[in-house]
Amino acid sequence: MMTRALLSIAVALLLAAATAATHIQWSTDGTTEWAHGCDWPGVGDIGTARTAVSHCGEACGRFLGCTHFVWSQHGSKCYFKGSSTYRHKLVLASAEVLCGRMRGQPAWAVGLSHPQ
């Protein structure tokens, strides 16, 4: 009985997480695609730069090997990510975190909404 209740809770939590992930609001400027509230924590980091959130994608485009990026309000840092980043699951984060990719890079991990 206890196992069945725990299983029901686990399924409910997974469904809630999947639903939340599909509600990420993606934007594009033709060069980059980004959204607030998502992250690839500790995955594929190849460099960082202090920059305004509005310049993180642009900075990624100038950084050799950068295909994906994450900007954090903590320290106003842009984290440059390498090409293997897309293979890792994108996770939900606080609204103060922005994640994105350079156009033409591989799509996000399976199961999450992404720009076309």
pLDDT by residue (tens digit) across 21-54?
456 788 888 889 999 999 888 788 999 999 999 9
pLDDT at 76 exceeding the cut of 60: yes
How high is the pLDDT of residue 8? 47
How high is the pLDDT of residue 17? 42
How high is the pLDDT of residue 107? 57
Answer CATH for 27-102 from 3.50.4.10, 3.10.20.30, 3.30.420.10, 1.10.760.10? 3.50.4.10
Domains of the chain, residue spans: 27-102
Phi-psi region of 76 (alpha: psi -120 to 50; beta: other; left: phi over 0): left
96 SS3 class: coil
pLDDT at 110 exceeding the cut of 90: no
